[in-house]
């Protein structure tokens, strides 16, 4: 996909990504995207179970990070 977009002068955006495979899998993907920033303009995380990176307390309304947020944080 990256080569196709580059050849055609197109830009790509990966929306709603999520994984349960662990931080290594995610790191590989986001490192690749960042290394090809001439084509990939960004990404968003899927924030619903089982991939949620944050949750909202139903009583207080406060938002807190889940442990998976640490997987994404180095790539913000």
pTM: 0.85
Q: If 0-12 CB within 10 Å is exposed, 13-18 middle and 19+ buried, where does residue 45 land?
A: buried
For residue range 31-63, what is the model confidence (pLDDT) as tens digits?
Answer: 999 999 999 999 999 999 999 999 999 999 999
| H-helix segments, 1-76 | 2-8, 23-35, 69-72
Token look-up 């349960």 returns 20
Q: Are 46 and 15 in contact (CB under 8 A)?
A: no
């Amino acid at each position: 996909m990256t080569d196709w977009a580059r050849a055609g002068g197109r830009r790509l955006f990966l929306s709603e990504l999520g994984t349960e495979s662990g931080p290594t899998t995610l790191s590989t993907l986001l490192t690749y995207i960042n290394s090809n920033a001439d084509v990939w303009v960004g990404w968003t995380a899927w924030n619903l179970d089982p991939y949620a990176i944050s949750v909202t307390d139903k009583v207080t309304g406060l938002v807190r990070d889940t442990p998976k947020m640490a997987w994404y944080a180095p790539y913000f």
